[in-house]
């Protein structure tokens, strides 16, 4: 009898250095949560057992990255490490100008400061919180145009991150081309459930932009995961490498913003790319004002090296297969037990549909926050609400995101997370909503203070 092919997909690494994590009891967690004003951002990380708050900057670097760190050239100007990063970025992304920044939002702030002003409108498939805030900070309006399938958490469509192409056409027609300084496409669509954007959709958006003479920029944070999901799900791409797919996508645009804390596999870093010489000059002038000289942009030379190596590793097919399969593992284990999640599982996170999980808590009482807090109380797991607390009236869904840091947790950690979620699901009717007692004018979820609504 021929041997069965081995189907188990293992972590494609072995562990060389370990970091202890700390157990706490439920009474201790209750006390810590109250002291944190019921906002998981305000907890001390030492009081968290499994931290799924974000996949941003929380990954483990490889031996190659650590070796590259030692090669970092810390020269203020003309650093060899910047040349390395630029070479790698130009090879993958194909854009002419590469401007390093300390993280993604610095690239956003510079891009929107140069391109946007009051009266402008910036369409995006779905703005991430920092992207929306940076657009609005210039006085411009940030408009989300998700595809209709993207708004139904349970619908199993392969590219729920897509932009609503007809909506984009309409918006440009009704508001006028001169009010739209650029269009953004976020790959993958983080606030929309970590869902990928198809090549076909990116092509359609690009054609509309080109027809109207509007630049198209990618928010490229998770470009490698998006490329792998295209390879898996879009006809005609199965035989192409993630790198070739990424190149094809970026060729449809005029530039990008990037947080290297995601698919740059680094703990800090980012960049802004453009093909436009004049814009690049203005962007570098602003960069010098607040970030640093254009060959380091607020980063150490060693960080530039870590990102250069990390970008290559993010496109490795063994890594991407493990990444996508291990994220789906969490999603499939909880959804098969009835937990409502955004389907199908995306690249970097599983999103629980908190409105469906807690139908007795209205959006105004933050069902996502109620659920995230209970996961912490039950098992020391930290997740994040993406919903009414984060986006106020612009929230189209109330989700709890369980983001998986890259190369950090093993399958047994994830089995533990599954068990905790299922225990909370079993007694979901006991959970109650919250109300706000303090909010900041921007990005309120980071510092908001809440209290139980029943008190």
Ligand X SMILES: Cc1ncc(COP(=O)(O)O)c(C=O)c1O
Shortest separation between residue 34's beta carbon and ligand X, angstroms: 27
Helices (H), 349-405: 354-357, 367-379, 388-391
Shortest separation between residue 160's beta carbon and ligand X, angstroms: 15
Shortest separation between residue 10's beta carbon and ligand X, angstroms: 27
Structure tokens that stand for 46 in this block: 């030492």
Could you give phi then psi for residue 335, rounded to 5 degrees? -70, -30
3-state DSSP assignment of residue 216: strand
Q: How far apart are CA 160 and CA 191, in angstroms?
A: 11
Sole binder of ligand X in the list 43, 48, 122, 221 (CB under 6 A): 221
Complex with ligand X: residue 221 or 369, whichever CB lies closer? 221
Sole binder of ligand X in the list 138, 147, 259, 326 (CB under 6 A): 259
Sole binder of ligand X in the list 219, 263, 313, 385 (CB under 6 A): 219
Size of the site for ligand X (CB under 6 A): 14
Residue with tokens 């983080």: 190
- Laid out side by side, the sheet with 349-353 consists of 349-353, 399-403, 384-386
Site for ligand X in 163-182 (CB under 6 A): none
Could you give phi then psi for residue 421, rounded to 5 degrees? -60, -40
Shortest separation between residue 41's beta carbon and ligand X, angstroms: 13
Shortest separation between residue 55's beta carbon and ligand X, angstroms: 8
Complex with ligand X: residue 189 or 365, whichever CB lies closer? 189
Site for ligand X in 101-120 (CB under 6 A): 103-105
Closest to 42 (Cα-Cα) out of 455, 352, 441, 444: 444
Q: How far apart are CA 145 and CA 163, in angstroms?
A: 6
384 neighbors 403 (Cβ within 8 angstroms): yes
Q: How far apart are CA 134 and CA 125, in angstroms?
A: 16
Complex with ligand X: residue 403 or 434, whichever CB lies closer? 403
Shortest separation between residue 105's beta carbon and ligand X, angstroms: 3
* Candidates 4-12, 72-80, 97-105, 444-452; binding stretch for ligand X (CB under 6 A): 97-105
261 binds ligand X (CB under 6 A): yes
Shortest separation between residue 346's beta carbon and ligand X, angstroms: 12
* Candidates 88-96, 123-131, 210-218, 234-242; binding stretch for ligand X (CB under 6 A): 123-131
3-state DSSP assignment of residue 190: coil
Q: How far apart are CA 230 and CA 198, in angstroms?
A: 6
* Candidates 41-49, 127-135, 151-159, 175-183; binding stretch for ligand X (CB under 6 A): 127-135
Site map 301..330 versus ligand X, x via CB under 6 A: ------------------------------
Complex with ligand X: residue 104 or 380, whichever CB lies closer? 104
Structure tokens that stand for 111 in this block: 């891009």
Complex with ligand X: residue 32 or 109, whichever CB lies closer? 109
Shortest separation between residue 131's beta carbon and ligand X, angstroms: 5
DSSP letters for 157-194: -TTTT-B-HHHHHHHHHHH-GGG---EEEESSBTTTTS
Shortest separation between residue 128's beta carbon and ligand X, angstroms: 4
Site for ligand X in 351-390 (CB under 6 A): none
CB atoms within 10 A of CB 209: 23
Sole binder of ligand X in the list 29, 39, 52, 56 (CB under 6 A): 56
283 binds ligand X (CB under 6 A): no
Q: How far apart are CA 162 and CA 151, in angstroms?
A: 11
- Please tell me what DSSP assigns to residue 214: -
Strand partners for 195: 189
Complex with ligand X: residue 81 or 186, whichever CB lies closer? 186
Complex with ligand X: residue 195 or 343, whichever CB lies closer? 195
Shortest separation between residue 142's beta carbon and ligand X, angstroms: 12
Give how far the C-alpha of residue 415 lies from the chain's centroid of Cα atoms, to the nearest Å. Answer: 23
Q: How far apart are CA 213 and CA 208, in angstroms?
A: 8
130 binds ligand X (CB under 6 A): yes
Shortest separation between residue 159's beta carbon and ligand X, angstroms: 16
Give how far the C-alpha of residue 113 lies from the chain's centroid of Cα atoms, to the nearest Å. Answer: 22
Site map 183..202 versus ligand X, x via CB under 6 A: ---x---x------------
Residue with tokens 């944190």: 36
* Candidates 21-29, 128-136, 357-365, 409-417; binding stretch for ligand X (CB under 6 A): 128-136
Shortest separation between residue 433's beta carbon and ligand X, angstroms: 26
Interhelix angle 199-212/165-175, nearest 10 degrees: 20
**Closest-CB residue for ligand X?**
104
Strand partners for 141: 121
| Virtual torsion, Cα 428, 157, 143, 297, nearest 10 deg | 90
Interface contacts to ligand X, rule CB under 6 A: 56, 103-105, 128, 130-131, 186, 190, 219, 221, 259, 261, 270
């Amino acid at each position: 009898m021929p041997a069965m092919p081995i189907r188990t997909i293992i972590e494609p690494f072995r562990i060389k250095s370990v970091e202890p994590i700390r157990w706490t009891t439920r009474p201790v967690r209750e006390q810590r949560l109250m002291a944190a004003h019921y906002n998981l951002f305000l907890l001390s990380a030492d009081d968290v057992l499994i931290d799924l708050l974000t996949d941003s900057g929380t990954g483990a670097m490889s031996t190659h990255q650590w070796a590259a760190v030692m090669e970092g050239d810390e020269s203020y100007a003309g650093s060899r490490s910047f040349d390395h990063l630029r070479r790698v970025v130009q090879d993958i992304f194909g854009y002419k100008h590469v401007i390093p920044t300390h993280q993604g939002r610095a690239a956003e702030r510079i891009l929107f400061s140069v391109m946007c002003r009051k009266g402008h409108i910036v369409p995006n498939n779905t703005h991430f919180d920092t992207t929306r805030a940076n657009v609005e900070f210039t006085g411009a309006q940030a408009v989300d145009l998700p595809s209709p399938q993207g708004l139904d958490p349970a619908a199993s469509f392969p590219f729920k991150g897509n932009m609503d192409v007809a909506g984009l056409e309409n918006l440009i027609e009704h508001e006028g081309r001169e009010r739209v300084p650029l269009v953004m496409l976020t790959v993958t669509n983080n606030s929309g459930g970590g869902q990928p954007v198809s090549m076909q959709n990116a092509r359609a958006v690009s054609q509309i932009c080109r027809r109207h003479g509007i630049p198209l920029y990618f928010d490229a944070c998770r470009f490698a995961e998006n490329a792998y999901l295209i390879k898996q799900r879009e006809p005609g791409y199965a035989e192409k490498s993630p790198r070739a797919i990424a190149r094809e996508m970026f060729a449809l645009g005029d530039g990008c913003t990037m947080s290297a804390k995601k698919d740059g596999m680094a703990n800090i870093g980012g960049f802004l790319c453009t093909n436009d010489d004049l814009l690049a000059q203005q962007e570098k002038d602003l960069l010098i004002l607040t970030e640093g000289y254009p060959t380091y942009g607020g980063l150490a030379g060693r960080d530039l090296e870590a990102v250069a190596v990390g970008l290559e590793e993010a496109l490795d097919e063994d890594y991407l297969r493990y990444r996508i399969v291990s994220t789906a593992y969490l999603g499939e284990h909880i959804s098969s037990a009835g937990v409502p999640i955004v389907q199908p599982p995306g690249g970097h996170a599983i999103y629980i549909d908190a409105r469906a999980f807690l139908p007795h808590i209205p959006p105004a009482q933050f069902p996502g926050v109620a659920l995230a807090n209970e996961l912490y109380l039950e098992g020391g797991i930290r997740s994040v609400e993406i919903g009414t607390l984060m986006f106020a009236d612009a929230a189209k869904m109330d989700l709890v995101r369980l983001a998986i840091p890259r190369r950090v947790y093993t399958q047994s950690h994830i089995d533990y997370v599954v068990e905790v979620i299922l225990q909370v699901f079993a007694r979901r009717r006991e959970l109650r909503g919250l109300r706000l007692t303090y909010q900041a004018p921007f990005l309120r979820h980071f510092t908001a203070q809440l209290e139980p609504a029943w008190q």
